[in-house]
Structure 1
Amino acid sequence: MCGIVGVVDLQGRSVDPSWIDSMNDSIVHRGPDDSGSYVRGNVGLGMRRLSIIDVAGGHQPVYNEDKSVWVVFNGEIYNHLELREDLEKAGHRFYTDSDTETLVHLYEQYGVEGVSKLRGMFAYALWDERAERLLLARDRVGIKPLYYAVIGGCLAFASELKALIRLPWFDPDINSASIERFLAFLYVPGPETVYQGVVELPPAHILVYEKGRTSIQRYWTLRYQSRDDVRVEEWAERVLHQFRDSVKSHLMSEVPLGAFLSGGIDSSAIVAAMAMESSKPVVTFSIGHEGKGAFQDERPYARIVADRYRTEHHEFVVSADIQGIVPKLIACFDQPFADSSAIPNYYITKLTRQHVTVALSGLGGDELAGGYERHLGMQWAEHFRRLPSVVRGLLGEYWIHRLPDSPTGHPGMSRIKRFLSSAANPTAERYAAFVMAHSVSERARILSRDFHAGAKAQSSNEMVEAAFNSNDADSLLHYLLLCDMQLYLPGDLLMLTDRVSMLHSLEVRVPFLDHPLIELMAQVPARHKLTLWSKKALFKRAFRGLLPSSILDRKKVGFSVPLALWLRTELKPLLCDVLSKDGLTAVGYLEHGEVEKLVSEHLSGSANHESKLWALINLVLWERQRRVSQSQGYHRSALGQSRRGG
């Protein structure tokens, strides 16, 4: 695991090595073990390394036999040994044992198409001196990040936005549409970012710059094509076999390795598969919460699995004393981000890094097998829509206005109200209602009129509709899963996992997102994955021999904290300070009256606005940090001014 940076001057001017050094310094947390750079003429590449494979010999940048092809790489290639064997048979000579070197020889053999042969998580930059060609590549589902921008006559790229900010000419305006989208989703969905002109390379894409031209190409497309010629029992066997193969491939490491264990199906299955492949006890890590609030402590379930497989188990308890870590979390994301599960993730990655360098996670299982409440709710809504319109209207109108909000933060009541209010709408609108924290009208009230007009009020809803319209899935569930993998998975879950783990220099691997397993699950009919009464039905069948019924049949609990309660108690001073009139005035585009109303209703207990308030807190604090960074003037040199002008 590493961080990568680079600059190509499109006008042929020389790259200053200090730019690469400064960019590298900003992401030292991603790779505290080593650093390296390549600067020659108008090209500069840099990297920070967290040593996992070929610890002694894997220094980057890595080059080919005649040093005409150079690469900097972030991630892991799980099939690099098989690729290496084939490349050596073709005459390529390796000088390291690292998976990184595979990339340069793969490029020599197959060109830019070689990326499709990779199995792993990755973001890398390759420079071909002879062809004067830059290749940027990102893995199929977006596990590893990569941003780029064409600014000041240069094409610059980096693993994190903070590295781009270090460039002398980097001073872009805020992308107002991204603020509107953040309030909708609680994250900024790609490929756009919070900065105008700065783009996230989409998952499963490559960027090629050559001879003054830039092209972006997709190299992999997930298609759901269900097969009805296979019995569900055989599907369960195939999925189990491929899952175990995925876990086995993810155990490749020369440093200590462990696993997160929540006591849910996904993480428990990973621990079980790891235990079957290891002669030593698996090292596992769990997190819990003690105190009041709508929060279920999952540690007792994690202990069931830990005891069954005799793991070396570690636990951590989260308290409401989190004000000290909030600025760290905001800084690590570089743009507004308000998924409150970042809080427990921060603590569990910190705990885990004290014992191991690599951890396996159950992330991705819900996106493969239909594990979210919205998947079940959307399916029920299809049946609800078949009722006569008069009946639907009466049920909706009657219950929506009579069901109370849950002031403690328990999601059940809000889910029922959300279901009733959107069940009769078109599919894309229903999905938007389930995944958005603020509705269109709420976003319009919170943002100032001028700012909201510039942000294109419907842009977030249009993104959801575009995601649905771009899919050709064969069932409602598969439409939902594809949308999750296009929006929520890379924009929220993978962003969160990468940034928070890298903040502690911990590599997190996600076996459920191994593309052979994804492609296999895409062939399984939706009816085997999700029924009207059971989420992840196929996983429960497939993992029946690995896990006890107490794990398989328990209700899913998210990786959450009792935020609604905390905002009324321990975090109340933070809430009242950040969202005060002075705090909001400093931002300039939030409506004081509407925000004050949300604060008042939440503190009184008459409503639960935890998600909305947490989003606003993070937005205001992010703006504060951004303006402090601007005032420090990383990019105010005379050269920076001339580059911006060029």
Structure 2
Amino acid sequence: MCGIAGMVVSAGQRPPSAPLGRRMIDVIRHRGPDDDGLHCDEQAMLGMRRLSIIDVEGGHQPLYAAEGQVCLVFNGEIYNFRELRRELEREGHVFRTHGDGEVILQGYLRHGADVFARLDGMFAIAIWDRRSKDLLLARDRFGEKPLYYTNNARRLLFGSELKSLLQSTDCPRDVAPDALRAFLTYGYVPSPGSIFAGVSKLPPGHWLRCRDGRVELHRYWRPSLEAKTSLSEADAIEELAGLLDRAVSSRLVSDVPFGAFLSGGLDSSTVVALMARHLSQPVKTFTIGFKEADFSELDDARQVARHLGTEHHELVVEPDAVSLLHELAWHFDEPFADSSAVPTFLVSQLARRHVKMVLTGDGGDELFGGYDRYLRLLTLEQLGMLGRPAAAALRVAGALLPDPLGGRLGRIGERLQLPREHRYLSGVALMRADTARALHPEAGGDRHYHLPFLDEADADLGAGRSSLDRAVAIDLQSYLPDDILVKLDRMAMANSLEGRSPFLEPRLAGFALSLPESFRLRHGRGKFLLRRVAERWLPQRSLTKPKQGFAIPLAQWFRGPLRGMATDLFTSRAFRERGLCDYRAARALLDEHVSGRADRREALWQVICLELWAQRFLDATPAGN
């Protein structure tokens, strides 16, 4: 687990600067406090920070091959590296280390860019080949590890985090209007764009070649939702049980202490149960809770921990919301408004006191249909069959009835009037279109939902067009890589902790996506087949408890510890003059929320996260090259 950064310049340009390379890796020291390395030649600079997990003594990077002509740095873990190494050794490749990085490098010498499709892991890879003057960048299938880049005819900059690129004055710093509009809708900036125009995220499942200033993008993998399994329910249960067991066991490869996040819900509990089957010592588990009972899963986690005999660690937190928000803004690099980042940071902080790596349940909701919004979408589709009169009636009822019922009915009516392909996206938006437009005149509106991942989702679906599969395809293109996995990566790495997601093991994920709708949604609940498998390992409460999520008491905070902070921000001269959000609209949202006239928690959180990001990244003075 590391952070990487670097630069490649075109022939005839000024060579990359070693001091710049040092700044680019030093600013992400939290990603790898154990070691660092830097390669610099006439055209390329590649650097890394290392968190030692596998081959602690021998895993130093950069790694070299072909008499020093090929150089590699990478961030992540390759879980099938031992199998790949045996294949390469049979073909005559000689290894000097025991880690996974050299397997990638030797695999590149044997297979070229085809090596990326052979890797089971989470990774961001940079390979500089001095023989062909090629820089290759690659990112794992689901986007567990981040990779930013910006390029022009003279040079390409890349890094695990945007802050590395910002160490160079060559990095663009103009806010991208589409990215701002997307953030005000969804609470994150979708790939492949970034908050800065001219800076991109390498999409998951892609690799990039840069040669003499020319960039080519290639997709080596895409999820398939079209072909469905013909297995019986009983056979599917056994197949899934075996795949889950193999996925978890493959993620246990580590030379350092490790554990697991445990919420007491189905996904994390299943992972912990399978870990316990493979370990001779009790699994170290970690959970946090808030004093507000509605936002605490401590009792559920304790029950699972007792059932599985784990070494359980928990913490009831009263975070300093103000100081914590400033720290979170720094680590996310882009505006990011998923409020569950707060407990994710805190549980990572707790875990890091005991271990260097944890397993998580991330990905289970997308793959097995676990989100309640999937069920709401199917209900919406049934209402849509009634036609425009139903939509109009719901909007009228929404206008006549008091909140919260009136508001819900009105929003359902609004969604029914959208084109069918946009109904799901409108339901996952954090901010209503009218609120977004009040804050930013160009935000909101139907055209805002025309985001690139719609086209990619269509390609993943093939001929399949079920509402559930379409929603899952959209989440695999956007919500999973740009929200869920960003949150895990940045909050864990902020604490120098590695997080692994067994549900994203390729064979397990492929099987889950092949399940027909009836194996995912049944009896008004998601994850039907996963529950059938997990019932052999878990207590009944873990199988039946309502989905809670990693929520925090935002509504209370904005009437308490965050109220003063929000007031100061929205009345400041900098907020008003920067103009990212209309200060009068922001103050009106706060007044409505504090008075109890409306619940504006999500919109207020988005505006605060945007402003704190702007203070840290727009107001800062750029470093030199």
* TM bucket normalised to smaller: over 0.9
Amino acid at match of 2:255: E
Which residue does 2:430 correspond to in 1?
A: 437
> Aligned letter for 2:372?
E
Residue 399 to residue 627, structure 1, CA distance change in 2 (3 Å) = closer
Distance 1:362 1:434 in 2: 24
State the match for 1:128 in structure 2.
129
Distance 2:213 2:174 in 1: 25
Aligned ranges 1:363-442 → 2 under 5 Å: 363-387=362-386, 389-391=388-390, 393-399=392-398, 401-405=400-404, 418-423=411-416, 425-442=418-435
The answer to whether the Cα contact below 8 Å between 1:376 and 1:532 also exists between their aligned partners in 2 is no
Query: In 2, are the aligned partners of 1:323 and 1:571 still within 8 Å (CA)?
Result: yes
Are the structure 2 counterparts of residues 594 and 619 from structure 1 closer, same or farther at C-alpha, using a change threshold of 3 Å? same
Alignment partner, residue 146 of structure 1:
147
Aligned-pair CA distance for 1:622 = 1.3
CA contact (8 A) 2:394 2:410 kept: no
Partner of 1:644: none
- The answer to whether 1:634 aligns with 2:618 is no
1:5 Cα offset (Å): 0.7
Change (3 A) 1:414 1:222: farther
- SS for the counterpart of 2:280 is coil
SS at match of 1:629: coil
9-18 or 190-199, which deviates more: 9-18
Match of residue 62 from structure 1: 63
Residues 437-467 of structure 1, C-alpha deviation per residue, up to 9 Å, x if partnerless?
22333322211x4xx38x9983444446435
Q: d(CA) in 1 for partners of 2:310 and 2:372?
A: 31
Give the conservation status (yes or no) of the 8 Å contact 2:390–2:413: no
**C-alpha offsets along residues 121-154 of structure 1, whole Å, 9 cap, x if unaligned?**
0001011121211110000010000011115821
1:81-92 alignment, distance < 5 Å: 81-92=82-93
CA distance in 2 between counterparts of 1:225 and 1:213 reads 35
2:558 is aligned with 1:567: yes
How much has 1:111 moved relative to structure 2?
A: 0.7
Classify the secondary structure of the residue corresponding to 1:458: helix
Looking at structure 2, the residues matched to 178 and 329 of structure 1 have their Cα atoms a distance apart, in angstroms, of: 19
Aligned to 2:455: 466
- Alpha-carbon deviations, 1:486-513, whole Å to 9, x = none? 0101111111111111110000000011
Please name the residue that 1:588 is paired with.
579
State the alpha-carbon separation in 1 of the partners of residues 490 and 61 from structure 2: 22
1:343 partner SS:
helix
Give yes or no for the alignment of 1:610 onto 2:611: no
Contact 1:65 1:93 in 2 (8 A): no
Which residue of 2 is the match for residue 623 of structure 1? 614
* Letter in structure 2 aligned against 1:318: V
Residues 584-628 of structure 1, C-alpha deviation per residue, up to 9 Å, x if partnerless? Answer: 314223222222221111110010011100000111111111244
**Contact 1:400–1:421 (CA<8 Å) still a contact in 2?**
no
Q: Specify the code of the residue in structure 2 equivalent to 1:9.
A: V
State the partner residue of 1:409.
none
For 1:383 and 1:171, locate their aligned partners in 2 and report how far apart those are by CA, in whole Å. Answer: 46
- Does structure 1 residue 358 correspond to structure 2 residue 351? no
* Matching residue of 1:643: none
How is 1:327-366 mapped onto 2 (pairs within 5 angstroms)?
A: 327-366=326-365
**Aligned residue in 2 for 1:8:** 8
Q: Give the partner amino acid of 1:37.
A: L
Structure 1 residue aligned with 2:203: 202
What letter corresponds to residue 608 of structure 2 in structure 1? I
CA contact (8 A) 2:290 2:296 kept: yes
- C-alpha root-mean-square deviation of aligned residues, in Å? 2.0
Structure 1's 172 and 589: CA in aligned 2 closer, same or farther, altered over 3 A? Answer: closer
CA distance in structure 2 between the aligned counterparts of 1:367 and 1:308, rounded to whole angstroms: 27
| CA contact 2:3–2:31 (8 Å) conserved in 1 | yes
Shift of 1:50: 0.3
Aligned twin of 1:519 = 510
Contact map agreement 1:62 1:100 (CA 8 A) in 2: yes
In structure 2, C-alpha distance between the alignment counterparts of 1:358 and 1:87, rounded to whole Å: 28
Cα deviation 1:85-123 (Å, max 9, x = unaligned): 000010100000010000111001111111110000000
CA contact (8 A) 1:175 1:194 kept: yes
SS of residue paired to 1:60: coil
Q: Paired residue for 1:193?
A: 194
5+ residue gaps in structure 2? none
DSSP-derived class of the 2:483 partner: helix
Structure 1 residue 220 displacement after superposition: 0.5
Q: Deviations over 1:519-545 (max 9, x none)?
A: 111211112101361111111112110
Distance in 1 separating the partners of 2:6 and 2:397? 59
Provide the rounded CA distance (Å) in 2 between the counterparts of 1:66 and 1:110: 18
Q: Cα distance 1:414–1:228, how it changes in 2: closer, same or farther (>3 A)?
A: farther
Alignment of 1:229-308 (within 5 A): 229-291=230-292, 295-308=294-307
Q: Is 106-115 or 381-390 further displaced after alignment?
A: 381-390
AA in 2 matched with 1:344: P
- In the alignment, the residues of structure 2 paired with residue 445 and residue 336 of structure 1 have an alpha-carbon distance, to the nearest angstrom, of 19
The separation in 1 between residues aligned to 2:290 and 2:256, in whole angstroms, is 30
| Equivalence for 1:310 | 309
Give the counterpart letter for 2:338 in structure 1.
D
1:323 partner SS: helix
**Which residue number corresponds to residue 471 of structure 2?**
480
Indicate how the Cα distance of structure 1 residues 394 and 213 shifts in structure 2: closer, same or farther if over 3 A, else same: closer
Residues 605 and 38 from structure 1, CA distance in 2 versus in 1: closer, same or farther, beyond 3 angstroms? same
Distance 1:23 1:494 in 2: 23
Q: 1:416 to 1:144 in 2, by over 3 A?
A: farther
Please identify, of 167-176 and 119-128, the stretch whose mean Cα deviation from structure 2 is larger. Answer: 167-176
SS of structure 1 residue aligned to 2:295: coil
**Amino acid paired to 1:494:** L
Q: Alignment identity in percent?
A: 38
Secondary structure of the residue aligned to 1:568 is coil
Report how many aligned residue pairs link the two structures. 622
Change (3 A) 1:442 1:242: same
Cα distance in structure 2, aligned partners of 1:381 and 1:22: 51
| 1:548 maps onto 2:547 in alignment | no
What is the TM-score when the length of structure 2 is the normalising length? 0.95
Deviation (angstroms), 1:394: 3.0
Q: Distance in 2 between matches of 1:328 and 1:616?
A: 16
Contact 2:9–2:213 (CA under 8 A) maintained in structure 1:
no
TM-score w.r.t. the length of structure 1 is: 0.92
Q: CA deviation at 1:310?
A: 0.7
**What is the correspondence of 1:155-194 to structure 2 with a 5 Å cutoff?**
155-194=156-195
Give 1:416 deviation, angstroms: 6.2
